[in-house]
Structure 1
Amino acid sequence: MKTRQLGKGGPQVGAVGLGCMSFAGFYGETDLATSHDTLDAAREYGVDFLDTALIYGMGKSEEVIGSYLKANPNHGFKIATKGGIETQPTRHFNNSEASLRRALESSLKRLGVDYVDLYYIHRREAERPIEEVTETLAKFIKEGKIGGIGYSEIAPSSLRRAHAVHPVMAVQSEYSLWTRQPEMGMIQTCAELGVAFVPFSPVARGMFADAFPDPADFAETDFRKKQPRFMEENFAANCKILERFQDFCTSRGWSPAGTAIAWTLDQGSHIIPIPGTRTRAHLEQLVEGDAIEFTDEDRAEIKRILPIGWAHGDRYSDAQIVGVERYC
């Protein structure tokens, strides 16, 4: 696999990373053996950048990764995790130094490491100046606990404020052929400042799979169950449009998932998508994206089939979008 730099001065990592939220069962049941097999496959394919978070199963995803790292000390993975969300007494955001330190220390313990390559603020606490939060993260760098600073789902203006205090390594936001808001400033700001842009859900939460997911089969715990794009009549409309994209991919001999990954990579050399999966078979399709090369004709056809703004319904419910900085 080709590599890309994780932010200016950061490490080289595989162009396609692996989001590990699925290891915590957000999209259905999984087990330790299957998750470990997926991590084995990642190493085989050159996928060496893992993305997890404290909130994923309240540490379950980190524990799965930690058990793998312990059994495979020469794993070669670069690890990113996240903090800043607390769940007691109710879900809220806390970016204070004391809270972030507790969260980071607990993440390191579950992962079985004393250092992570990248630490994100999962959601920004709006009342606390981002300059203060960045100073806290800079302390963690000096203490040798993290390699770089990251933020998730912030606005370009917030990135500029943080970056003025200490260089930011990466910004993570949802970005795919059906979620395009980062094109309204974040992708450009990251490129200008030398910050990696890390798209999560680049295969649209399973919509770019060979077969569409069936919302009727979603478990009560499935993250998608309350998302408007997976509710009728939006879901039927989205499937109808995506059938044309599937036909295009078939005509080129590509999988829809691989094509979706290739499209994100094609949007900038500083972009490192982190698709999530819990199986080896799906990972095989995702890494195909690194090998796909588009012609101008391909780009034009994708744009015709899936023009910006084509998706029906919001990407999050009103409850899920709390904490996301909406800058346009």
Structure 2
Amino acid sequence: MQTRKIGPFDVTSVGLGCMNLSHAYGTPPSPEQGRELLAHALDQGVTLFDTAALYGFGANETLVGPVLAPHRDRITLCSKGGMAGVAGEDGVLRRVIDGRPATIRRNCEDSLRRLGTEVIDLYYLHRWDKSVPIEESVGEMGRLLQEGKVRALGLSEVSAETLTRAHREHPVTALQSEYSLWSRNAELGTLQRCAELGVAYVAFSPLGRGFLAGGLPDASTLGEKDVRKPMPRFSPENYARNLRLLAPMREIAEEAGCSLAALAIAWVLHQGSHVIALPGTTQRAHLDEDLHGGEVRLTTEQLEQLNELFRPSAIAGSRYAAQGHREVDTEEFERIG
């Protein structure tokens, strides 16, 4: 399998985002099924695993830690803080973005305990708390690095300007943000800025939250707890328009000799040698398709066809609803709907 660089780490060009094993896309698999998928990823040679304090409100770290522990010398383990579950007066856990230094330190130490490790290889600020200067949050992360609790620092869903400010405070190793054929916001500045600064771009949701794999013909079947339910591009009207893009995409996939999922992964990896794809799944067969995408080579003509087919103006609906947009700092295309 191809490898690429994330700072000091050599990782597989296609990693595994572990969020799906604990929440987000409907009912998660059982812990045993989750462990089986992780074991399969290890058997297939995956060396990049990504989790977060938020996922399952800590349950995801508790799940992946013991499975990955025997392999720590050959994998890169990533987690995130600054957004976690906090119990309210009613005792119910709710996600809270909090980038204060004391909170980031507490999040990191909690993650270390749940993961059962002494050091996290790559530690991200999950979301920038805009009430706290980015320099303060990253400064505390830098102190965690100096203390040997983390090995490298990352940011998630920030703009090129914010990345530059953070990088001045302490070298940033990776930026993790959504990037796929139908979410091309990275091309508004962060992809190029990462290349200029020597920062790896870790593309989460490279399959467009499942859309680009063709496995969701009807978005109305999404459950109420599915995070895609309130996203504008998954509304019935917008989704019907977006589905029309899959037929011509399938023709390109057939020409390339791969599945839709593998084609989507391959396109992401063709956007720069500093780009790593981070899909998530609960199915072994889907993981195998994703990993195959790391081996697919696309011609210049195929890339141009995909770029035109999925030009931002062709996508119906924005990627987040109003609340989601307020929580990220990434550059956004102007859209209606």
TM-score of the aligned structures, taking structure 1 as reference length: 0.94
Assess, with a 3 A threshold, how the Cα gap between structure 1 residues 142 and 75 changes in structure 2: closer, same or farther.
Answer: closer
Q: Pairwise mapping of residues 139-158 of structure 1 onto structure 2 (< 5 A)?
A: 139-158=143-162
Shift of 1:214: 3.0
Q: Distance in 2 between matches of 1:79 and 1:150?
A: 12
Per the alignment, residue 229 of structure 1 pairs with 233
Which letter maps to 1:254?
Answer: C
Alignment pair present for 1:13 and 2:17: no
Assess, with a 3 A threshold, how the Cα gap between structure 1 residues 327 and 304 changes in structure 2: closer, same or farther.
Answer: closer
Q: Pairwise mapping of residues 125-140 of structure 1 onto structure 2 (< 5 A)?
A: 125-140=129-144
Shift of 1:215: 2.3
Q: Distance in 2 between matches of 1:74 and 1:184?
A: 36
> Could you tell me which of 207, 211, 214 is aligned with 1:203?
207
Q: Pairwise mapping of residues 1-328 of structure 1 onto structure 2 (< 5 A)?
A: 1-7=1-7, 10-29=8-27, 30-70=29-69, 72-73=70-71, 76-88=74-86, 89=88, 91-328=95-332
Which segment is superposed worse, 91-100 or 52-61?
91-100
Q: Distance in 1 between matches of 2:272 and 2:107?
A: 32
5+ residue gaps, structure 2, are 89-93, 333-337
Which letter maps to 2:265?
Answer: I
Shift of 1:152: 0.5
3-state SS, counterpart of residue 266 of structure 2: helix
Q: Distance in 1 between matches of 2:237 and 2:54?
A: 31
1:236-284 Cα deviation digits (max 9, x unpaired): 0000122221232123321011011110100000001100111111000
1:105-125 Cα deviation digits (max 9, x unpaired): 111111111111111111111
Identity in percent:
40
5+ residue gaps, structure 1, are none
Shift of 1:207: 0.8
TM-score of the aligned structures, taking structure 2 as reference length: 0.92
Which letter maps to 2:5?
Answer: Q
Shift of 1:171: 0.6
3-state SS, counterpart of residue 113 of structure 1: coil
Which letter maps to 1:322?
Answer: R
Structure 1: which 4+ aligned runs deviate by more than 4 Å? none
Q: Distance in 2 between matches of 1:260 and 1:184?
A: 20
Which letter maps to 1:136?
Answer: E
Which letter maps to 1:298?
Answer: Q
CA contact (8 A) 2:233 2:239 kept: yes
CA contact (8 A) 1:69 1:112 kept: no
Which segment is superposed worse, 43-52 or 318-327?
318-327
Q: Distance in 2 between matches of 1:104 and 1:49?
A: 19
Shift of 1:325: 0.7
